[in-house]
Chains A and B, each alone.
Chain A
Amino acid sequence: GENVEQHPSTLSVQEGDSAVIKCTYSDSASNYFPWYKQELGKRPQLIIDIRSNVGEKKDQRIAVTLNKTAKHFSLHITETQPEDSAVYFCAASPNNFNKFYFGSGTKLNVKP
């Protein structure tokens, strides 16, 4: 089965700096990679996703990159703000779209 590893487990940055979270996956059949943000006590919510036929995707301050050969994908947040503080999860989904394998999460703390 798929194995998704996520690093770092915690990340502390100063407001305005960039934050990068990295994930690796093991199953080459995975072709959909969403990222979720979970604020304290709230539900996970999708913030950005990427398919295996795309190498990079950007949405305002958030971007995701994918390297299929190396089987890793990363979340980049620029100009971080205190409201970006949350736990971020990466996930990988294989062709059938009915399985989602989550990384262990990264707790991001943006210091004002």
Chain B
Amino acid sequence: DTAVSQTPKYLVTQMGNDKSIKCEQNLGHDTMYWYKQDSKKFLKIMFSYNNKELIINETVPNRFSPKSPDKAHLNLHINSLELGDSAVYFCASSPRTSLAKNIQYFGAGTRLSVL
């Protein structure tokens, strides 16, 4: 069973469109994340959700909105897509406890191409 799964794997779309990327984890983790990896391979955190509460928003445009229907899911919705949004988006999850190893498990990534 895949621990962190995200869909779709590839997403090609036109500028101005609205799209969503889904993420699910079956590890029972409390915290989920979204990262953007650009063409230079720089990995930047976008959002972190803990028990349905947004706890980080790292200067991400408000066209990006995370939605968490429950603890196991954190979807990423993007409005009015721009060329600069083209990147690989990774979902991740980790347990939220200072007593345990806070290991992040990453999904396989979604390669978004905006034309």
A positions within 8 Å CB-CB of B: 32, 34, 38, 42-46, 49, 87, 89, 93, 95, 97-102, 104-105, 107
> How many of chain B's residues have a CB under 8 angstroms from any CB in A?
25
Against A, the Cβ 8 Å flags (1 = close, 0 = not) of B2-45 are 00000000000000000000000000000101000000111111
Taking CB atoms, residues of chain A closer than 8 Å to B90 are 43-44
Q: B102 near A102 (CB under 8 angstroms)?
A: no
Residue from the list B31, B43, B101 in contact with A44, Cβ < 8 A:
B43
Which residues of the other chain, B, contact A87 by a CB distance below 8 angstroms? 41
What residues of chain B have their CB less than 8 Å away from a CB belonging to chain A? 31, 33, 40-45, 48, 50, 55-56, 90, 94, 96-98, 101-104, 106-109
12 more contacts with CB within 8 A, not counting A43-B90, A44-B43, A104-B40, are A34-B103, A34-B104, A43-B106, A43-B107, A44-B90, A93-B102, A97-B96, A98-B50, A98-B96, A101-B45, A102-B43, A104-B41
Contact B43 A98 (CB under 8 A): no
A34–B43 Cα gap in the complex (Å)? 14
Asked if A98 contacts B108 (CB within 8 A), the reply is no
Residues on the B chain within 8 Å of A93, using CB:
102
The residue among B41, B98, B108 with the most chain A CB atoms within 10 A of its own CB is B41
Find chain B residues with CB under 8 A from A97 CB: 31, 94, 96-98, 102
